[in-house]
């Protein structure tokens, strides 16, 4: 079934790969990024040329998740051009690497603004339309770090915890308007993204130097991560794009609430299952068990306008 999909953070990495995969599957894809006429103009044109050469409906839209006005304008563009918005893939994010004490409050505020509050901005722009149609899907690119909590990524892990919590509680509420949620949890990747090369560092150099005896651990972090992958594993983020494409191909009402794409064998699926049971039991005992089910009130997405082509039960 084809959808009109908005992908945030589509300039590079998982977002870019997801935009490409969804367009190849026949969806109408709005690949969003910042500064499409400036520093990302080449990346934007590459996606547009891909669409032209492959006969795919892939478009580019300006979206800075740190701006309410930008989020509103991006969603308005999608609605003006395509007539509807079926799916938002929340992918935009940034990474910080360093010692927690060395990150200033301003550093952490900025990362939370990008990785968590940015999701809220885009949801507030998109959800009025989805609620009015009583149909839609929110896909969040989360992280296994919110389960395994690796060292030297403190502000990033905190921001992914916050984003995951927002996604979960939002899901209870929007599900009553026929809107599905899937949280995709990628494990670590050491290739195929600019996540680590472009990672931010702590703003307080003096506090960073105070932890110098731990620097060798930080230096070998990437090598240590690669050591977690089984021999011969192709630990590439294209697997996340493929999983998002698979999930969106499932019939409405049957998409998983969580799915894990992890080559590090961290056991996140087992933790998720324990968490699911505890949450469902708690919410049911509160008397709000209906919030655990998607209310089937809206229509299945129809053809997009113009020129669109084709793109497990909820488990906790």
pLDDT tens across 110-150, in order?
999 999 999 999 999 999 999 999 999 999 999 999 999 99
- CA dihedral sign of residues 267, 268, 274, 277: negative
For residues 115 and 90, is the Cβ–Cβ distance under 8 A? no
DSSP 251: P
Task: Find, among 204, 195, 205, 213, the residue nearest to 153 by Cα.
Answer: 195
Give the pLDDT of residue 38: 96
**CA 62 – CA 311 distance, rounded (Å):** 22
Catalytic site positions: 156
Q: Are strands 136-141 and 58-62 parallel, antiparallel or unpaired?
A: unpaired
| Position with higher pLDDT, 203 vs 292 | 292
**CA 179 – CA 258 distance, rounded (Å):** 15
Q: Could you tell me the pLDDT band of residue 305, with boundaries at 50, 70 and 90?
A: very low
DSSP 298: S
In order of 26, 56, 279, 281, the CA distances from 308 in angstroms are 7, 8, 39, 42
**CA 213 – CA 24 distance, rounded (Å):** 48
pLDDT tens across 166-183, in order?
999 999 999 999 999 999
Give the pLDDT of residue 316: 34
Give the pLDDT of residue 197: 63
Residues shown for the chain: 316
Give the pLDDT of residue 196: 64
Helices (H), the chain: 13-24, 41-54, 68-82, 105-112, 118-133, 145-148, 154-174, 205-210, 215-219, 221-226, 238-249, 268-286
Does residue 221 register a pLDDT over 90?
A: no
Task: Find, among 264, 247, 298, the residue nearest to 187 by Cα.
Answer: 264
Q: What is the mean pLDDT of the chain?
A: 91
Greatest extent of the chain over all pairs of C-alpha atoms, in Å: 59
Task: Find, among 240, 38, 132, 68, the residue nearest to 60 by Cα.
Answer: 38
Give the pLDDT of residue 312: 35
pLDDT tens across 245-302, in order?
999 999 988 999 999 999 999 999 999 999 999 999 999 999 999 999 998 765 555 5
What is the distance of C-alpha 271 from the center of its chain?
20
Q: Residue 139's beta-bridge partner residues?
A: 89, 182
pLDDT tens across 68-97, in order?
999 999 999 999 999 999 999 999 999 999
Please state the rounded mean pLDDT for residues 34-41.
96
């Amino acid at each position: 079934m084809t959808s009109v999909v908005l992908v945030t953070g589509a300039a590079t990495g998982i977002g870019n790969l997801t935009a490409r995969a969804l367009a190849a599957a026949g969806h109408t894809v709005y690949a969003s990024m910042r500064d499409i006429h400036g520093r990302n103009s080449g990346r934007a044109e590459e996606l547009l040329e891909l669409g032209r050469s492959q006969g795919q409906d892939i478009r580019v839209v300006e979206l800075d998740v740190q701006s309410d006005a930008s989020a509103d304008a991006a969603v308005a563009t999608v609605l003006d051009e395509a007539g509807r918005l079926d799916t938002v893939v929340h992918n935009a994010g940034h990474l910080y690497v360093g010692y927690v004490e060395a990150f200033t409050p301003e550093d952490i505020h900025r990362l939370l603004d990008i990785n968590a509050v940015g999701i809220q901005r885009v949801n507030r722009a998109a959800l009025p339309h989805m609620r009015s149609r009583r149909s839609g899907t929110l896909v969040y690119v989360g992280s296994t770090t919110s389960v395994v909590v690796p060292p030297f990524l403190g502000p990033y892990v905190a921001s992914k915890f916050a984003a995951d919590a927002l996604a979960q509680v939002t899901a209870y509420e929007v599900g009553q308007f026929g809107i599905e949620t899937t949280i995709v949890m990628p494990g670590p990747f050491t290739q195929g993204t600019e996540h680590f090369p472009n990672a931010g560092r702590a703003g307080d150099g003096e506090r960073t130097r105070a932890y110098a005896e731990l620097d060798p651990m930080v230096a070998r972090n990437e090598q240590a991560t690669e050591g977690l992958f089984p021999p011969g594993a192709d630990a590439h983020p294209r697997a996340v794009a493929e999983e998002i494409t698979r999930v969106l191909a499932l019939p409405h009402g049957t998409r998983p609430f969580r799915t894990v794409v992890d080559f590090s064998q961290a056991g996140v699926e087992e933790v998720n299952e324990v968490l699911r049971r505890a949450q469902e039991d708690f919410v049911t005992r509160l008397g709000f068990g209906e919030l655990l089910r998607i209310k089937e009130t809206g229509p299945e997405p129809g053809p997009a306008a113009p020129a669109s082509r084709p793109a497990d039960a909820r488990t906790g």
